[in-house]
Every structure is written in C-alpha cells, then in structure tokens.
Amino acid sequence: MNEKKDVCILHPFESELPFSVTGQLLVLDKGLEAAFFLKDPTNRVKKPKPVASPSPERANDLWKTTCFELFLSQAGSSDYYEINLSPDGKWNAYYFKSYRTPQPPAESTEISLQKIRWSEDTLRATFDFKNKNLLNLQWDCSMTAVIETNSNQKFYFATSHEGEKPDFHLRKSFKLKRGSTL
C-alpha cells in the first residue's frame, strides 16, 4: 500500500492564541500513524513528562485535560470512530452509530493502539485495524485537540469548527477527505 501523508493546521476555536497545533496522518499497511505537533513558544501549555508507553492503557475522559483526537467516518455514513490520545500514554477508541450515540460511548475493538510516544512537543501514535478492509474505504476525517494551559484554561483546536461552540463530533466538521485509502 502506498503511504499517504497529510499535514494539516488545527484551527483554534478561539482566535489568536500564543500556541498552535498541526497534525499529520500516515497510512501504513496495517493501519494508521497519527502525529500531532504542538508549538508553544511562551511555554503556556500544561505538558506531562515525555513518555513512550510499551503497553498503552485505555482510559476514559481523556478530553478533560490536554488530549489529541482523531475522528474517522466512512464517506456518506453517519457512524464514526473517535480516538483519544493523551500525552501521558493513555488512549481510547470509541464507536458511535450516529452523533454522540450511544452514551456512554462504546469502546471500539476494531482499532488497537500499537505504540504511543510523547516527546516535548510531539505526540505520535500507531494503530492497527482488525478489519484491514477499512483501510480501502473512502473516509471523512478530522484531527482535533483539547489543550490545557498552566492556568487550567482549555482551548479547542480542530481541522474545522462547524458549530457555535467547540463540538468535535459534528459530522460536517470531518473535512479531511481520503480516496481509496485513509
């Protein structure tokens, strides 16, 4: 399978922040590698110590502090996957049948995290997909981030904000398009 790279800017819901986030998706034979790059020249973002987790642990509510996320949906479908990644090495993947349904969200067994690494300003994670045919579909995607500052303020970044408030689950915000591969 050919590798496909996409670098994208994650836009803050709030304007003119002193830090920024970009993201990159890399298609692998078995799955996906995601990278998030944080630029924080004023050192305002609350950052954990660097971590490389050999056995990543699933956890809920990662979005309550700094968290990087992916949303993936087959083109034309209302169901989608949400993947949450924490710089402390924790992660989770959820499957939704439609907008925020079910609640509480159902953990996805389709996606497994193979590796996660946080170093200073970059989070990288590699995923496998149980069903390899998922890699050959057309997808709508979104890369997002919740960034918490040292003063406990939260800021919301996404490839696209389509609501009146930050809402990463809005299907119309999944604007990264893929052809026959992610």
Residue 182 lies in a domain: no
Residue 48 lies in a domain: yes
Confidence check: pLDDT of 1 > 60 = no
Q: Which domain holds residue 143?
A: 5-177
Residue 113 lies in a domain: yes
CATH number, domain of 36, equals 2.60.40.1190
Reduced 3-state DSSP string for the chain: CCCCEEEEEEEECCCCCCCEEEEEEEECCCEEEEEEEEECCCCCECCCCCEEECCCEECCCHHHCCEEEEEEEECCCCCEEEEEECCCCEEEEEEECECCECCCCEECCCEEEEEEEEECCEEEEEEEECCHHHHHCCEEEEEEEEEEECCCCEEEEECCCCCCCCCCCCHHHCCEECCCCC
pTM (2 d.p.):
0.91
Confidence check: pLDDT of 42 > 90 = yes
At residue 3, the pLDDT reads 44
Q: Give the whole-number percent of the chain exceeding pLDDT 90.
A: 64
The count of structural domains within the chain is 1
Residue 39 lies in a domain: yes
Q: Note the pLDDT tens digit of each residue in 126-135.
A: 999 888 777 7
Residue 58 lies in a domain: yes
At residue 50, the pLDDT reads 67
